[in-house]
Amino acid sequence: MNQRAPGFYGTYASHKGYVTPQVGPKQVARLDAEIWGPAECSPSHSFLEIGCGTGAFLAYLRGKGVRRVLGIDHDPALAKVIPEAARDDFICRDVWEVLADESLGRFDRIVLLDVLEHFEASDALRLLQSLRGRLADGGRVVIKVPNAGSPWGLPYQYGDLTHRTAFAPISVRQLADAAGFAAPLLYGQRQGSTRRRLTDALVCRLLSWALLNPPEIWGANLYAVLQVKP
């Protein structure tokens, strides 16, 4: 991650208020719909999560029966809040060191949730290029970033002073192409109750009809599933 703002990263734990996440049925259903299904995941797959934070996704993977899981983050304060089921899967280590460590082997799925926006565009490109060397055959990279192409995504992008780059669908495609990946599968994050999602969909449909230049994806956060170019 970009460390040009050490004062902000140095107080990240207190700012975020790290707590051990609870991964209940609602969280499992959401991650099933947002990641497991679209990325065609399987319990037999190996997973690397870069920037794993408090470990919610690591615990989710353990609950799905995944055996080989590795989560990395640069903040040592996270070790105290990682869920017990995933505690042995976490290491505090620099991402560039991990990607250069050949002993770790390759992974079927590499996941970066709310990570790329913390990098300058050139470093994000370098990171994705490096990930290609850590993917197994047929592997996929799953990314989630704030959707700066939607007005709903701007509070997520600019609500954190450690964010360095804003992404929209078109720039995610540009980044993927430059890094050697095929055109990604792009979709918005599911948020809120069923009633709220239906209401949101109706409002966005009306706005798409009324506006000259509506967003390609209205969701506040944007997912992308990448595969290496054939």
Question: What confidence score (pLDDT) does residue 2 get?
Answer: 46
* 163 token code pair: 């964010």
Question: What confidence score (pLDDT) does residue 194 get?
Answer: 87
Question: What confidence score (pLDDT) does residue 180 get?
Answer: 97
**Prediction pTM value:** 0.93
Per-residue DSSP letter, 39: T
Question: What confidence score (pLDDT) does residue 192 get?
Answer: 85
Q: Which residues of the chain are modeled with pLDDT < 50? A: 2-5
Q: Which domains does the chain have, with CATH numbers?
A: 6-226 (3.40.50.150)
Residues 6+ apart with CB under 8 A from 59: 21, 23, 83, 85, 86
Residues paired with residue 48 on neighbouring β-strands, in sequence order: 70, 110
Residues 6+ apart with CB under 8 A from 12: 75, 162
Question: What confidence score (pLDDT) does residue 3 get?
Answer: 47
